[in-house]
Structures are given as C-alpha cells and as structure tokens.
Amino acid sequence: MGILSTSERHQIILKMLEDHDAVSVSSLSEKLKVSTVTVRKDLRLLESKGLLHRFHGGASRDNPYINEIAISEKEHIHADEKSRIGEAAAKLINGDNAIIIASGTTVLAFARQIKPIHSLITITSSLNVALELNKHVDLEVIQLGGILRKSSFSVTGPYGEGMLNQFSCSKLFIGVDGLSLDFGITTASIQEAHLNQKMMESAQKTIVLTDSSKFGKRGFGKICDLEEIDTIITDSAAPDQYIKALEEMGVEIVLV
C-alpha cells in the first residue's frame, strides 16, 4: 500500500467501522501506515461531519455515551435477551446462603427466574427486585435503605453502603449501562456506581448480566475495570472482539 490521500484514509476508516463498530487509534495507525497523530486528526475531522464518535484511544460508529432511561421504558428493550440472560444466571445459584442483587431491568428478569430450592438470603437495592423475590415464602429479602431514585426504583447513598459493611455474600449479580474495553463497566449514576462498588466488596464473586447492546457503551459512573469481574452473561450477538479480549483477561463468558 502506497501513501494514501486523506480521502482514501477516511474511506478506509469508515469501512473498518462498518465491519467492527469500533476501532482503536493504534490499529488504524498500523492499517493506514501513518502516525497516531495523523489518525487522531482524521477521526476529529470525521467526527465533525457526524460520521463517527471519538473516545479515548479510538472511535465508534455509534455514540458510546448513554443517557439514563426510565426503568419502565428499559424493561421493554431487548426483553427476550434479558429473559434468557436471567434464566442462565438463575442456574448459578447453587448452594448459596446469601447473594446480592443490584438494580436494573436485566437483574429484574433474573429475579423472576429464581426458584429457591433451599433457604436463601437475598440483599438488593432494587424495590422491584425485592417485591418480586418477596413472593417466595422460603426466601429472605433484605432491602437496602437510602435515597430512592425515581428513574430506576432503586436506592443509593450512605445508608445502603453502611448496611453492606455488615454482610458477606457468595455472589453479586449486577446489571450495567455500559461495557467498554478501555473504561470498564459503568452506570448512568455516579451514586449507583459507588453503591455497586460496595456490593462488590461484600461479595466473593461478581457476575455481570448485560445484553449485547451495552458493549462499547459507557455511562457517567464507573463501577470497575473489566479485570475485576468474574463472569459476564450476555447474548450471542456480543461482538467477537470483546469476547476474545474479555476471555484473555480471565473473565468467564456465558453466551445465551
């Protein structure tokens, strides 16, 4: 490949985004045989034309930043995938004495699949999850306290965080708003992200439940880096490059 013109470089960049949804500056530099400085200039120009969205270290076809959506709306988005993810997650409850369940529509789908066969204690920040689990006579539900977020029907704040200091559980089941290779898992609320971090400290294993639409996205509040996750349960449409990268980090991937 000879020296490419600016127009030729831009065509190649856009074609790569069509094939991969997201590309890194380093991979573009290698492909186009130009410096990373030149690549960043190209990405800046293409973004100004509304053809891509830049993020730290690369670019994506779609806007990686998410806006918070009310739980009543989110529940109907990717509902089939969430149901399958919830069913797979429920199979991981085996001999556990106590688990933590965070908030969100995917973990609510998980809660609906739980059929306790032994005494189980569940700790949750979600009112909807608590109400769903309370239907089971043999299942003890501990509702965390705090400030109620109207958009998610979940609590945040120091009251819930203080309660978590008293517990030690085997597993945490958590939903996310975004999963990014360079930024980790995120949620739209920084307060919720902080509560999620406390949940991780109180659990021996962290299991992320997320449909494939969250890959490559990021919310305002960072929960943790991907290396801190034990298992991710997602649907089979998850991008191959993400699956490969996560497995190389030692994260177990369950596809449904």
pLDDT for the residue numbered 3: 86
pLDDT band at 124 (very low <50, low <70, confident <90, very high): very high
CA angle (127, 120, 117) in 5-degree steps: 115
Using 50, 70 and 90 to split pLDDT, how confident is the model at 131? very high
pLDDT value at residue 225: 96
Quote the mean pLDDT of the chain.
Answer: 91
**Structure confidence by residue, pLDDT tens digits, 58-117:** 888 776 666 666 555 566 578 999 999 999 999 999 888 999 999 999 999 999 999 877
pLDDT band, very low/low/confident/very high, at 256 (cuts 50, 70, 90): very high
pLDDT band at 49 (very low <50, low <70, confident <90, very high): confident
Confidence check: pLDDT of 10 > 70 = yes
Q: What is the pLDDT of residue 220?
A: 85
pLDDT bin (cut points 50, 70, 90) of residue 142 is very high
pLDDT digits 0-9 by tens, 13-30: 999 988 877 788 999 999
Mean pLDDT throughout 26-48?
93
Give the domain ranges of the chain. Answer: 6-60, 71-255
Q: Is 21:216 a contact under the CB 8 Å cutoff?
A: yes
Tell me what pLDDT residue 152 has: 84
Q: What is the dihedral of CA 192, 198, 202, 208, to 10 degrees?
A: 40
Structure tokens at 154: 């979940």
- Does pTM top 0.85 for this prediction? no
User: What class has domain 71-255?
Assistant: alpha beta
Could you please state the CATH topology (level 3) that the domain comprising 6-60 is classified under.
Arc Repressor Mutant, subunit A (1.10.10)
